[in-house]
Chains A and B, each alone.
Chain A
Amino acid sequence: MKIINSAHAGTLESSDVYIQINPLDKDTVEIELESSVKELYGEMIEELIKNTLKDMSVSSVHVKAQDKGAMDLVIKARLQAAILRACECDPVWEELS
C-alpha cells in the first residue's frame, strides 16, 4: 500500500491517540512516539505500529503517534484509519486483523 498523502486520525483526548502519517521518499518506516507511558510501554506500542503497517503492506512512511493512554485496539484503529486516508483506499478487511 503506497502512502500518497499526509493524513491523520484520532484525537488528543484521554484514552485516545493522535496519529499523523506522512509519505517518505525512501523505503523505510519511521516512528515518532510521544506517550505518557513511553517508559513502560513504548516498545510495545512501536511494535504494534510496525506490525499493523506490515499487515497493510506499508513499507515507506513516517508515523507520528501522540498517545494519551490508548488501548491497543484504539492505536490499531486510528493507525489503520490514517493509513487508509493517506492512501485514499477502502479497507481490505483481511489485512486489518
Chain B
Amino acid sequence: MKLRRSMLFVPGANTAMVCNAYVYKPDTVMFDLEDSVALAEKDSARLMVYHALKHFAYQDIETAVRVNPLDSPYGLLDLEAVVRAGTDIVRLPKTDTVADVLDMQAAIEKIEKKIGRTKKTQLLAAIESAEGVVNAVDIARCTDRLMGIALGAEDYVRDIRTQRTKEGNELTAARAQILLAARAAKIHAFDSVFSDVRDKDGFIAEVKKIKNLGFDGKSLVNPNQIYLLHNIYAPTQKEIEWAFEVIEAAEHAKKNGLGVVSIDGRMVDAPIIARAEFTLDLARTSGLIGEDDE
C-alpha cells in the first residue's frame, strides 16, 4: 500500500528546500512552480526543479510538481521540463471542470510520446472553487491517470465569499464532496494546507479532524508538520492489538466453518475485517510492525 499522508510543498525557487526536502521524508515531495514562484524567476525555478527531479536523492521518494496553468505562458514549458525529468505526478494548478484534466492529460501524452516515456505520468487535481467542488464527482472519474483530488482551501473560501476559521466549518461541504468523489472513484483524497506553522495545536486538531473524515493525507507547507501528521495517522498500539485479534478471530471462524464470530460481544463481519486489515497495512507501512509480529 502506497502511503500518501504527507505531501510537502517545496517552492521551486527556494534552493535550500529544493535540495533538502527529501531529507524530511514526506510521503510525497511536491515542487511548486506556480504561486510560490515570482514571474521573473519562473524559468530559473523550472530548471532547478528539472535537475532536482533527475538527481539521485529524488529517485526513492514520490515526486509531484504543481505546474502553471496551460493558458499561461509557462504551463507547457513546465510540463515539458517535469515530464522529461520523470516526475511521478503532475498537480493541476486549478481544476474546475473535466476539460481541465483532459487538456492537461492530452498535453502530457504528447510529451510522453515525443520522448518515448513509457511510464504514465499521474495527475492530481486541485479543487479550489465552488465549480470544482460541484464537478468533483465527474472530475474524479474522468481518467485513470488521476491518482487523487485535493482541496485548495484558500482560493475556495475566497470563491464562496468567506474566510478560513480555526473550526473549519466553511470547508465542511467541500471536504465532504471531495472525499466522497474520491472514494467513489477509488482514488486518494487530500486536504488543504494549514498555513500557520506556529500553531501546532491548531494543526494537530485539523489533522485529527480530516483523518476522522477519511482523508488519505494533507498538503503541508513546513517540514516540521510531517512528524506531527505521521504520528496522528499511525495506528495506536491498542488499534494494532485489536486488528490482530479481529484477523485471528476471522481466520478461526473460516477454519471452523463459522459464518460470524464475535469479540467482546461485538460482531466481527466483513467491514470490520477489512478495517482491521487496513489498520495492519498502515502499521506495516509505518514501520510499527514487522514480520516477527505476525
Residues of A within 8 A of B (CB): 9-11, 13-16, 70-71, 73-74, 76-78, 80-81, 84-85, 90-91, 93, 96
Contact = CB atoms under 8 A, between A and B. Distances in A.
Contacts of B48: 73-74, 77-78
A81 B51 CA distance: 12
Interface of B: 15-16, 18-19, 43-44, 47-48, 50-52, 54-55, 77, 80-81, 84
Contacts of B51: 73-74, 76-77
B15 A11 contact: yes
A90 B42 CA distance: 12
A15 B30 CA distance: 20
B294 to A, nearest CB: 41
A78 B44 contact: yes
B47 A90 contact: no
Contacts, number: 49
Contact of B43 (A11, A13, A73, A85): A85
A15 B15 contact: yes
A14 B77 CA distance: 28
A76 B55 CA distance: 12
A9 B81 contact: no
B15 A96 contact: no
A73 B43 CA distance: 15
A49 B77 CA distance: 24
B84 A93 contact: yes
A90 B43 CA distance: 9
Nearest to A19: B44
A74 B15 contact: yes
B43 A84 contact: yes
A19 to B, nearest CB: 10
A70 B15 contact: yes
A34 B19 CA distance: 21
B47 A14 contact: no
Q: Which of B15, B43, B55 neighbours the largest number of chain A CB atoms within 10 Å of its CB?
A: B15
Contact of B50 (A11, A13, A16, A77): A77
Given A73-B52, A93-B81, A15 B43 contact: no
30 contacts: A9-B44, A10-B44, A11-B15, A13-B16, A15-B16, A15-B19, A16-B15, A70-B15, A71-B19, A73-B19, A73-B51, A73-B52, A73-B54, A73-B55, A74-B15, A74-B48, A74-B51, A77-B48, A77-B51, A78-B44, A78-B47, A78-B48, A80-B47, A81-B44, A81-B47, A84-B43, A90-B77, A91-B47, A91-B77, A96-B50
